Structure 1
Amino acid sequence: MTQPIQRIGVLTSGGDCAGLNAVIRAVAYRAIGTYGWEVFGIVDGTLGLIERPLRYRRLDLQFFTNSHLREGGTLLGTTNKGDPFAFPMPDGSHRDRSADFVEGVRELGLDALVVIGGDGSMKIVSRLCAAGNIGMVGVPKTIDNDVHGTDTSVGFSTASNVVTEALDRLQPTAASHHRVMILEVMGRDAGHIALNAGISGGADVILMPEVPYSLEGVAEKIRSVLQDEGRSHALVVVAEGCHTAGGETPTISYSGEQQRYGGIGHYLMDRISDMTGAETRVTILGHVQRGGTPSMHDRLLASAFGVNAVDLVARGEFGKMVAWQHRSVVAVPLDNVTIGPRALDPAGTLMHTARGLGIYCGNFDRLATDDAKGL
């Protein structure tokens, strides 16, 4: 773009997480304080630019207080529903409303957009921006930490801390009642939360979507803990996106015929109890992982991302996402990011660490066999 930047928009899209407000704050501080631009926060993600009248709020330095740095969620609101290219209409039909988005950007007079989202959100918004020749810079956020090109995303640290604390609270109860406690955590496509928090929280079993497992392998580990190690209890962490041992995806129906992930914890509870004879209970942490006060790491990461995203806009480096690599913020092309979720590396350091601690993480021999078959 050749015209000078005067006015930018910032929006959050997809699921919420801790640290979003810190990004918004950093974007506004850098854009206004350093470059003298106007900043507009788009309400409820892409919906704020698609719906009429437009929904937005002007952000100035007087708007922000130090409390925003400490607050979870997003002050702008967000959405993970309604693909703008196939937008659901009241009559049940679907309509392409990408032109409405582009027109909304023009009507508001925005010269560029800073989009805070996961890989799915950034893929959709980057298509919208490309359709209107709108400059876009992305900021990675997701508790699942499954965005390509960045070592970590905003929200992951806080969510992992929440899960670790949950394990800290479940362990005394498990020990007191001689139980196996199963903690089902978020992670539809990747097991980053389960692995990081499972190691930190002293789990005996960690199950993730990336690694196949067997019920006998799980039961054998628990028997070993209860019999060979002489411990009276065990902790199991499982990501919600894990399949059953038979390869099925547990789902729960809601709002009519809609489906969502859920049920793997109860599936394991019944089978562990039958196979080991141990009294077993399950806790589903759910959306507790998304909320709460952002951790120090998430506040720091969010602030660094927000400042550097604005700097990319100032340099006209659009079509990129800020990322954290090797203790520094870098810019990576969005085309390298919007390629689906980033899975755990079964040969990575943390998986090696978990196995070195004796944690059962699945059947790696089966994984190697599947890889050899090209599965």
Structure 2
Amino acid sequence: MTNKIGIVTGGGDCPGLNAVIRAIVKTATLNGWECFGIHGGFDGLLTPVQVMPLATKDMDGLLIRGGTILGTANSGKFSAKTGHGEPRQVDQNILNQAKINFEALGLAALVAIGGDGTLTIAQQMFEMGFAVVGVPKTIDNDLDATQTTFGFDTAVACAVDALDRLHSTAQSHNRVMVLEVMGRYAGWIAAYAGLAGGADVILIPEIKFNHDAIQRKIQAREAEGKHFTIVIMAEGVTLEGQGFVTSNKTGTDREARLGGIGHLVAEEIENRSKKETRCVVLGHLQRGGQPTQWDRQLCTRFGVHAFQLIAREQFGFMVALKENGTMGPVTLKDAINKIRRVDPAGDLVMTARALGISFGD
């Protein structure tokens, strides 16, 4: 092998991407390897290639810096997920062009940092002969092959901070406040933040909700003399008998863009309860800013172990956090298309229910 590593960040941005890059570059450099960043996602491997050298001196300040210095993309010629997560094969000519450029750059391996879509692309590249390893990233925390993905803890911290702020304004005005957070197929952010932030109603994709149940919770609080209610909900929640609420701005080469469910729920709450109701969509605030201390150490461990996989020529694998807290490899094939979801009968939900929190069912 040559001693050159390529690094690419794909999908949506996420707190901690730079911390992973930093860990890979510092570890690789100490072991005599060179690192190169692929700019703008996988499309950076297409002609004309967009590659930048990454040296240790370039890593200063990256541990706490949000976003990614390499840029990223969740659409384009390398899109491998469309609709609501339907996989598709990246065009063979695109993969061939990328492979030619990959080899021309003299790269020995590629580290793909991303979620299910990015890792699906990585698996297809591995099947094409690329030497690829993966690092799991998604604020949704919905990759089944790892106990935790980086970015999730930071997103939860952002949501909890929002709930803390909404509590005071809701109580001051005797309002119902609805907070919509990210979470397409899994409600980890809503569930963790709702529990930590004292929400009264938590709506997650794993549990179909109905408006009658939400109204009963509001009325119960009113009867107790509590004239405000806090609702947190994932963007992917669905009413009983209905599907996702999406915007009309979705392109053909990316997953459907969710949006609007929070405002619909808030409007229905106001109509039924006659209480002033406001909706706040946290949106991309969850993706930005400095990573938490937990995400920083997790990213650092992921980056170091990604290099170790390369050094062992263990390609086609993703670094994962195991149940016992250690790091270990899982195949990319086993890591993709398997969504880790909140267990409706699990400890997290049961704890919330024991506190009287409603899940809208």
Post-superposition Cα deviations, 1:118-168, rounded to whole Å, max 9, x if no partner, equal 01210112202321x121111001100111211111110101100000000
Unpaired stretches in structure 1, ≥5 consecutive residues? 88-93, 364-375
Question: How far off is 1:95 after superposition?
Answer: 7.8
Per the alignment, do residues 182 and 95 of structure 1 end up closer, same or farther by CA in structure 2, a change over 3 Å counting? same
Q: Which residue of 1 aligns with 2:145?
A: 149
| Residues in 2 aligned to 1:166 and 1:253: alpha-carbon distance in whole angstroms | 27
Q: Which residue of 2 aligns with 1:70?
A: 64
Answer whether contact 2:112 2:133 (CA < 8 A) is retained.
yes
| Residues in 1 aligned to 2:68 and 2:339: alpha-carbon distance in whole angstroms | 23
- RMSD, aligned CA: 1.9
Question: How far off is 1:245 after superposition?
Answer: 4.0
Question: How far off is 1:332 after superposition?
Answer: 1.2
Per the alignment, do residues 170 and 142 of structure 1 end up closer, same or farther by CA in structure 2, a change over 3 Å counting? same
Answer whether contact 1:86 1:95 (CA < 8 A) is retained.
no
Structural mapping, 1:1-150, within 5 Å: 4-33=1-30, 35-50=31-46, 52-65=47-60, 67-84=61-78, 96-131=93-128, 133-150=129-146
TM-score when scaled to structure 2?
0.92
Question: How far off is 1:68 after superposition?
Answer: 0.9
Per the alignment, do residues 17 and 231 of structure 1 end up closer, same or farther by CA in structure 2, a change over 3 Å counting? same
Structural mapping, 1:1-375, within 5 Å: 4-33=1-30, 35-50=31-46, 52-65=47-60, 67-84=61-78, 96-131=93-128, 133-227=129-223, 229-254=224-249, 260-325=257-322, 326-363=324-361
| Residues in 2 aligned to 1:115 and 1:333: alpha-carbon distance in whole angstroms | 13
Answer whether contact 1:117 1:141 (CA < 8 A) is retained.
yes
Post-superposition Cα deviations, 1:269-299, rounded to whole Å, max 9, x if no partner, equal 1111122222111001110100011100110
Answer whether contact 1:226 1:234 (CA < 8 A) is retained.
no
| Residues in 2 aligned to 1:241 and 1:255: alpha-carbon distance in whole angstroms | 15
Answer whether contact 1:305 1:322 (CA < 8 A) is retained.
yes
Per the alignment, do residues 53 and 21 of structure 1 end up closer, same or farther by CA in structure 2, a change over 3 Å counting? same
Answer whether contact 2:184 2:258 (CA < 8 A) is retained.
yes
SS at match of 1:113: strand
Answer whether contact 1:12 1:20 (CA < 8 A) is retained.
yes
Answer whether contact 2:153 2:295 (CA < 8 A) is retained.
yes
| Residues in 1 aligned to 2:360 and 2:105: alpha-carbon distance in whole angstroms | 52
Q: Which moved more, 1:194-203 or 1:117-126?
A: 117-126
Question: How far off is 1:256 after superposition?
Answer: 8.5
Per the alignment, do residues 70 and 6 of structure 1 end up closer, same or farther by CA in structure 2, a change over 3 Å counting? same
Answer whether contact 1:174 1:233 (CA < 8 A) is retained.
yes
SS at match of 2:57: coil
Answer whether contact 1:208 1:239 (CA < 8 A) is retained.
yes
| Residues in 2 aligned to 1:21 and 1:331: alpha-carbon distance in whole angstroms | 21
- Which residue identity lines up with residue 241 of structure 1 in the other structure? G
How many matched pairs?
Answer: 349
Post-superposition Cα deviations, 1:57-91, rounded to whole Å, max 9, x if no partner, equal 111112221x111110000000110243889xxxx
TM-score when scaled to structure 1?
0.89
| Residues in 1 aligned to 2:312 and 2:288: alpha-carbon distance in whole angstroms | 34
| Residues in 1 aligned to 2:293 and 2:132: alpha-carbon distance in whole angstroms | 27
Answer whether contact 1:85 1:95 (CA < 8 A) is retained.
no
Answer whether contact 1:187 1:240 (CA < 8 A) is retained.
yes
| Residues in 1 aligned to 2:358 and 2:242: alpha-carbon distance in whole angstroms | 18
- Which residue identity lines up with residue 231 of structure 1 in the other structure? K
SS at match of 2:56: coil
Answer whether contact 2:4 2:108 (CA < 8 A) is retained.
yes
| Residues in 1 aligned to 2:183 and 2:79: alpha-carbon distance in whole angstroms | 26
Answer whether contact 1:86 1:97 (CA < 8 A) is retained.
no
Q: Which residue of 2 aligns with 1:369?
A: none
